[in-house]
Amino acid sequence: MVHHLYSACEFFKYIIVLKTRDRCIMELKRWVDTRTGAFDWGHAAKLYVDIEEKSDQLQDKEEKVRSALQHVMKCNLEKENITDPITLPLADCIISAWLLDVISREQDNYIRYLRKLSSLLKPGGQLILIGDLDLTYFTVGAEKFHGFTYDEDFARKSLEGEGFVIDCCEVKKRTVKSDLLDYKAIIFIAAHKQNLV
């Protein structure tokens, strides 16, 4: 998914994308390098310029994202240092979308993963967290996977418990009809990591 990078590159000159699967890393690098046969993310760029009413900037936007995207790196949230053997400098902002919902089994996991994301952030740094509320399953191809089920209260308390201050939290009720997954709403949270005193 690259949709969020179109907005992010308006604010950040250097962006690092972390992915766990080698195939995803390879595909995204092909797109960054405009290689033949790379996945066409044109619809994401078009969506961005349409929302921002900047359709004349379509070409520029693609180039801006590509030049901000410095590295596509491997990560695994199960590891102590999730980008082992590389240690990244602390980030100004982390965007995590639909990741914790999918990889967490229970509340303790979710909080532990959140702590790992926090450890990659500078004090005062921003965390933008997007997820599905009340998800129990999702489907990919013919396979059905477990979703971690949580509500707004749990997300808020988890962030606050890990030393974040929530600046904005919005919940948007589901409008899509599909039995491929069963979430009830999408949650968008912008929070910052408290400075240590």
Residues of the shown chain interacting with ligand SAM in the complex, contacts defined by CB under 6 A: 1, 19-21, 75-78, 97-99, 102-103
Looking at the Cβ atoms of 82 and 159, the one nearer to ligand SAM is: 82
Looking at the Cβ atoms of 25 and 159, the one nearer to ligand SAM is: 25
Strands 185-193 and 121-133: antiparallel
Looking at the Cβ atoms of 21 and 177, the one nearer to ligand SAM is: 21
Q: From the CB of 76, what's the least distance to ligand SAM, in Å?
A: 5
- Those residues with Cβ within 8 angstroms of residue 35's Cβ, 6 or more apart along the chain or in another chain: none
Amino acid making up residue 34: T
Q: From the CB of 21, what's the least distance to ligand SAM, in Å?
A: 5
Tokens, residue 35: 């290689």
Q: From the CB of 69, what's the least distance to ligand SAM, in Å?
A: 13
Q: From the CB of 194, what's the least distance to ligand SAM, in Å?
A: 25
Q: Exposed, middle or buried, 171 (CB in 10 Å: 0-12/13-18/19+)?
A: middle
Looking at the Cβ atoms of 53 and 143, the one nearer to ligand SAM is: 143
Q: Is 112 helix (H, G, I), strand (E, B) or coil?
A: helix
Say if residues 115 and 160 touch (Cβ distance below 8 Å).
no
